[in-house]
């Protein structure tokens, strides 16, 4: 759920990690909990990919809003 900024990463039906965005920070901060025996590097790469997708979506929404606001002037 990209809007909630809470993500569960699964392998099949098994949870392998949880990623959550921390609010009220100057910069984006994520907490990542990785289950024992999982590929830490892969899970962190997924967390980075999630951040990139969320940032791209936020930029797209902002650009669309700015374009609409500019058209109203």
Given this model, what pLDDT does residue 1 score?
45
Give per-residue pLDDT as tens, 10-56.
999 999 999 887 765 666 678 899 999 999 999 999 988 988 888 88
pLDDT at res. 37: 94
Look at 25 and 57; give whichever has higher pLDDT: 57
CB 39 within 8 A of CB 32: no
Q: What is the pLDDT of residue 23?
A: 64
C-alpha–C-alpha distance, residues 15 and 43, integer Å: 12
How many Å apart are CA 14 and CA 34, to the nearest integer? 12
């Amino acid at each position: 759920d990209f809007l909630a900024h809470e993500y569960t990463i699964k392998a099949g039906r098994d949870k392998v990690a949880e990623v959550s965005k921390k609010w009220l920070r100057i910069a984006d901060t994520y907490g990542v909990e990785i289950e024992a025996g999982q590929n830490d590097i892969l899970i962190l790469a997924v967390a980075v990919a999630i951040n990139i997708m969320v940032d791209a979506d936020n930029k797209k929404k902002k650009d669309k809003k700015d374009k609409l606001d500019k058209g109203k002037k």
